[in-house]
Structure 1
Amino acid sequence: MKYEELLKEKKMKITKGRMAILNILEENNKSLTAEEIYSLLGEQDNDVNLSTVYRTLELFDDKDIVDKLFLPEGCYGYSLKRDDHKHLLKCDMCSKEVLVPCPIKQIQEIINSEAGFKITEHSIKLHGICDECNKKNK
């Protein structure tokens, strides 16, 4: 879906800054902080300030356009919502980031049947060591 159509569908105004932020998020397969997005915007000579980036990302989160993840660095990372919900897996050694499928559907079924709870929100923080770092340490 083109971003113009997405913004129209979400009843949002199409602006140069919003389009630029969406393009940066599309080009990256990892979550980006507002500061990282702002830095990448600067490389493209866009007239968007950091506070606009923050406001736009919050709006995108409210409109369910991005996934907002709390990162180990103590800030939020943003990535475009894809067809399926994913979580961030980060290597403890090289900080490589990989998005992995969310296992919550299976967990939710167990919790619902055994405890009678319906999960309304969740957060999963995953850490490990990537194959490259594992090979280096052997």
Structure 2
Amino acid sequence: IEFNTTTYDDKMLTNYVPVYVMLQLGVITNDNVLENAEKLEKQLKKLKQSQVDGVMVDVWWGIVESKGPKQYQWSAYRNLFEIVQSVGLKLQAIMSFHRCGGNIGDDVNIPIPKWVLEIGDSNPDIFYTNKIGN
């Protein structure tokens, strides 16, 4: 005789899928400022109460390294990460090396760093192109 000792809770944990919610694209401004930290903290607390596991945020190259090569400015993202941690949520940081915006309905525009565009003026091969040259 064989007994099945697996409980319903065990089965649910086996099939568990973590839930992460994407933060707004403009949560960090182009000026490297955390946009409305108090409002964000309230929103994050509501997500935590809703049993969400964590949040996902784009870490924009055009913000972090905007001043020049290897001149990193993490202050706004550090503030954001501290708030997320204080609320008890997990964090997925997506390193975004492309521009944001330029599509229909986009209300956030974050360019790639200006210094990269300047290098591209004299060396366009640094930019991605597809098979037909776009």
- The two structures have a TM-score, normalised by structure 1, of 0.29
Going by fraction, where is helix more abundant, 1 or 2?
Answer: 1
**Larger RCO (alpha carbons 8 Å, 6+ apart):** 2
Going by fraction, where is strand more abundant, 1 or 2?
Answer: 1
- The two structures have a TM-score, normalised by structure 2, of 0.29
